[in-house]
Amino acid sequence: MVRGVYIHIPFCHQICNYCDFNKVYFHKQPVDEYIEAVGKEMAMVVSKEPEQFANIETIYLGGGTPTALSPKQLERLLELIADCLPTNVLEFTAEANPDELSIDKLKALKNGGVTRLSLGVQSFDEALLQKLGRTHTINHIYQGIEWAKNVGFENINIDLMYGLPGQTLKQWEDTLETALRLNLPHYSAYSLIVEPKTVFYIQYAKGKLQLPGEELEAKMYEMLMDEMEEKGIHQYEISNFAKEGYESIHNKIYWDNDEYAGFGAGAHGYMNGIRYSNCGPIKKYLQAIETGKRPILYQHQVTISEKCEEEMFLGLRKNEGVSFKQFEMKMGFSMNEKYGDVIHRLIIEGLIMEDAGRLKLTKKGRFLGNEVFQQFLLSE
């Protein structure tokens, strides 16, 4: 059963130097046509399996940048969503760029059912923002948050990044202190990953990207956890922190390894045991919709071994970890049957622990998460 819906808006007014998501420059793109096509794709899928979408918990507008759209375009998109999906969900999130927000856009989102905003802040250091290719300033951040609150948004997240080119521990400390003074209900913080087909990747390949070493990045992560804990913002996932009751329900669907639908060019989904991705180029996406076909580029029936792997490396991202009971209910066999030796070894190494019927990362394990996750990949 589908728990959530992701809708991809691939348009950006500026392409960030680190971003590898499916995106295009907004200028001269068939934006209105794309919005209508997303509505047609949703209607096509939902009409075939309406029972799958009757009790969805979340909707998430991601990108690209949804706030690249005009207020009227946002209104039309939200009308099409409401035509196909129940919008009285537990959580309805829209991503936003601080410098693209306006009172009219925020009102369009609020009136269309959006209940949660996620702002791509990344840093409170102007020089680092320029290195990242961001177009907003610190004043844009303050103004956007103030406007959002005035319009009625209470559930606001900001994304932060560390391990940035040339970033010092003091710069990261200053960004954290500034972010926490905002007293928001949710914070996400991610270390930079240099992905192929990005500006940073090209610079890195040429030896022109100076990144903090692993030791400094580990200090930044430890500072992040300590500062959040001190301010009463509890860590509930490797990269996410929230006040009680403001944890991201949509993202938890991914970490719970549950099913969700993805709509739009380049969107990914997981339905009926099949992981799929839509074609990315907008022209191909529009052509598929025009002919009445689903715009699927790739789909894969998840095997039981793959499901086990995903249950472990996704679930262990959460501070609550993976339930032994839930694992057995989903798989038909126990976690120890599949991973007994691995679990025993990682416990001895102090990277995971058993607690209240769950398997969890230790604090040491959070620093070495990827190494832990790899241990649960099966060879079969």
Per-residue confidence (pLDDT) for residue 25, from 0 to 100: 58
Burial class (CB in 10 A: 0-12, 13-18, 19+), 13: middle
Bridge partners of 2?
Answer: 259
d(CA 107, CA 233): 28
pLDDT of 102 over the 70 cut: yes
pLDDT of 69 over the 70 cut: yes
- Report the pLDDT averaged over residues 23-36: 82
What DSSP element (H or E) covers 359?
A: strand 358-361
pLDDT of 24 over the 70 cut: no
d(CA 79, CA 84): 9
d(CA 314, CA 322): 9
Per-residue confidence (pLDDT) for residue 196, from 0 to 100: 85
Q: What token pair was written down for 103? A: 């009172």
Q: What token pair was written down for 181? A: 């003074």
pLDDT of 23 over the 60 cut: no
pLDDT category of residue 132 using cuts at 50, 70 and 90: confident
- Report the pLDDT averaged over residues 320-331: 96
Per-residue confidence (pLDDT) for residue 66, from 0 to 100: 95
**Range scoring the smallest mean pLDDT among 3-17, 108-122, 191-205, 264-278:** 191-205
pLDDT category of residue 28 using cuts at 50, 70 and 90: confident
pLDDT of 13 over the 60 cut: yes
- Report the pLDDT averaged over residues 170-188: 97
- Report the pLDDT averaged over residues 178-202: 89
CA-closest candidate to residue 286, choices 41, 43, 47: 41
pLDDT of 346 over the 90 cut: yes
Per-residue confidence (pLDDT) for residue 380, from 0 to 100: 47
pLDDT of 98 over the 90 cut: yes
pLDDT of 91 over the 60 cut: yes
Average pLDDT over the chain, rounded to an integer: 93
Burial class (CB in 10 A: 0-12, 13-18, 19+), 67: buried
Per-residue confidence (pLDDT) for residue 20, from 0 to 100: 56
pTM equals 0.94
Q: Which residue has the higher pLDDT, 28 or 367?
A: 367
Per-residue confidence (pLDDT) for residue 19, from 0 to 100: 64
**Range scoring the smallest mean pLDDT among 3-17, 161-175, 194-208:** 194-208
CA atoms within 13 A on the CB side of 326: 15
- Report the pLDDT averaged over residues 89-95: 98
Per-residue confidence (pLDDT) for residue 64, from 0 to 100: 83
Percent of the chain's residues with pLDDT above 90: 84
Per-residue confidence (pLDDT) for residue 46, from 0 to 100: 97
Per-residue confidence (pLDDT) for residue 108, from 0 to 100: 98
CA-closest candidate to residue 18, choices 154, 156, 141, 162: 162
Bridge partners of 355?
Answer: 358
In the chain, what are the domains? 2-254 (3.20.20.70), 315-374 (no CATH)
Q: What token pair was written down for 115? A: 């209940």
Distance in angstroms between the alpha carbons of the first and the last residue of the chain: 27
Per-residue confidence (pLDDT) for residue 101, from 0 to 100: 96
CA-closest candidate to residue 164, choices 126, 118, 206, 137: 126
pLDDT category of residue 373 using cuts at 50, 70 and 90: very high
* Cis, peptide link before residue 207, omega less than 30° from 0: no
Per-residue confidence (pLDDT) for residue 202, from 0 to 100: 82
